[in-house]
Amino acid sequence: MTFKIAIVGRPNVGKSTLFNRLAGKKLALVDDTPGVTRDRRIHDAKLYDLRFDVIDTAGFEDAAAATLEGRMRAQTELAVSEADLILFMIDAKAGLTPNDRAFADIVRRAGKPVVLVANKAEARGAQGGMLEGWELGLGEPIPISSEHGQGMPDLREAIIEALGEERVFPPDEEDEPASFVPEVLIGEDIADPEAEEVPSYDATKPLRIAVIGRPNAGKSTLINALVGEERLLTGPEAGITRDSISVDWEWRGRKMKLFDTAGMRRKSRVQEKLERLSVADGIRAIRFAEVVIIVLDATIPFEKQDLQLADLIIREGRAAVIAFNKWDLIDNPQELLAELREKTDRLLPQVRGIRAVTVSAETGRGLDRLMEAVTATHEVWNRRISTGRLNRWLEGVLAHHPPPAVAGRRLKIKYLTQVKARPPGFVISCSRPDAMPQSYIRYLTNGLRESFDMPGVPIRIMLRAPE
Ligand code: GDP
Ligand code: GDP
């Protein structure tokens, strides 16, 4: 069972060029003239180890030709409705146009997983256009060049994250070796290999928190309850400082800074813009935060938008906790909680074990437990594990469940080291990174998560051949 990807975007952004690259054929006609009519095509495609069907929607007439607008929409909607994932393409060189926004609206309404790609990123001046892409509220723009084949590893990564590993690598194909060498991306903060497990955060700095969720989930009520005046009186500095973006307060003597999306939203109560605004706010908030509180209305939990927001948090490498709000309205708490926990782990496998707390923003119940979950998750997100401990653990793992043999040769793992925190990132040095099956990488990720107690944070694993 393979999945379908529709490439969607206004004319001339480079959809056919990418289609050809993925399908490995000169199928779609590439033309410089916008509006050259072509048919929608489906073709089997691959991107490194990913196999899927790609739907090309190239050739829609320019929306300026009013009579053709309906047709354009109908075709895009058809492609979108057939697809499991939408690859929404913009032209980073040209920047956003009203047409991009119109297409983005169609895509947003579909509520399907979306990967936003900013094409022609190799072009001079493409940076500005790429940044504009954030305004679409479709997540982080992935810079690529369809023509030159650049950015393809990031595109692969984004597709996996958007669809989920279970969907991309169905269990029956699990032991196929990955033909892809994950690139080693080491951030600025390379760990001292002997660093011990001390939290790498500065406890004198405020812990940055954002509260996100659908409209009406209870975000404003929760924020007000968290930073309410009575709490503030207990801290050494009375009074709260509130600028347009954040609110400072203290919890159990610890400084906290909260990104106030709800406040921003109140300033612009244009009904039709509500949904879009909450997504755009969500993106800003996620970038600001170290820990994100996802507020779900327990009476209507887990809609698509919640999952998209959660997905974005994971992509951005943030730590997250879930607040199941309005718990005061629930009359079967035991049952519902079990159901919600099961759903959470199934729908968000990337952050298995994520802390979820039942709260009532209105009555204030559960808020201390919520803040305990926030600080605990922050600690995990910042954690550094010593190379010594990691390798003692690895020895045990290799003894009990070594990597499989590929083409008669056993894959060798030499060592494991944590190269970064915030979120935790590890490098595995192994004989043939390109042959290591994804299933084994997943096995190690889950093992690390359990053995070193790292629930609720994204874990990055990179493979590297020894020098
Ligand atoms: P479509 O209408 O969205 O299918 O766009 P096409 O694939 O036909 O591409 C439109 C134009 O953009 C063509 O002239 C392509 O050669 C050019 N193009 C496509 N991808 C890139 C790229 O990555 N960089 C640059 N500079 N040009 C590109
Ligand atoms: P926001 O749009 O996410 O900021 O949501 P609000 O904070 O404005 O809350 C939306 C509605 O839900 C309001 O009518 C709140 O009074 C109500 N609400 C918020 N939290 C709770 C709660 O814990 N219990 C109950 N019963 N209602 C709540």
Distance CA 402, CA 394 (A): 10
For residue range 119-174, what is the model confidence (pLDDT) as tens digits? 999 888 888 888 888 888 888 889 999 998 888 888 988 898 899 887 887 655 33
In 3D, which of 361, 285, 372 has the Cα closest to residue 329? 361
Q: Which residue minimizes the CA distance to atom 10 of ligand 2?
A: 216
Q: How far is the CA of 218 from the centre of ligand 2 (A)?
A: 4
Residues of the chain with pLDDT > 70, as a percent, come to 77
- Looking at ligand 2, which residue's alpha carbon is closest to its atom 9? 218
pLDDT band at 189 (very low <50, low <70, confident <90, very high): very low
Report, as an integer, the average pLDDT of 240-258.
73
What confidence category does residue 281 fall into, taking pLDDT thresholds of 50, 70 and 90?
Answer: low
Residue 455 has pLDDT above 50, yes or no: yes
Closest C-alpha residue for ligand 1 atom 2: 12
Question: Is 300 touching ligand 2 by the criterion CB < 6 Å?
Answer: no
ipTM of the shown complex = 0.54
Mean per-residue pLDDT of the chain:
78
Taking the C-alpha atoms of residue 155 and residue 180, their distance in angstroms, rounded to an integer, is 13
Say which ligand is closest to the CA of 30: 1
What is the amino acid identity at position 58?
A
Mutate to test the pocket of ligand 1, among 27, 56, 147 (most ligand atoms within 8 A of CB): 147
Domains and CATH numbers, the chain: 4-27+38-168 (3.40.50.300), 207-381 (3.40.50.300), 387-464 (3.30.300.20)
Site to substitute for ligand 1 among 17, 31, 75, 144, most atoms within 8 A of C-beta? 17
Indicate the annotated binding residues. 9-16, 56-60, 119-122, 213-220, 260-264, 325-328
**Please, what is the end-to-end C-alpha distance for the chain in angstroms?**
38
3-state secondary structure of 153: helix
Q: Ligand 2 in contact with 305 (CB < 6 A)?
A: no
Classify residue 405 by burial, with Cβ atoms within 10 Å: 0-12, 13-18, 19+.
Answer: exposed
Q: What would the DSSP string read from start to end of 210-231?
A: EEE-STTSSHHHHHHHHH-HHH
pLDDT digits (tens, 9 = 90+) for 349-407: 778 788 999 999 999 999 999 999 999 999 999 988 988 899 999 999 998 888 888 87
Q: Whole-model pTM?
A: 0.55
Residue 24: Cβ-neighbour burial (10 angstroms; 0-12, 13-18, 19+): exposed
Helix runs in 348-386, H state only: 367-382
Share of the chain above pLDDT 90, in %: 24
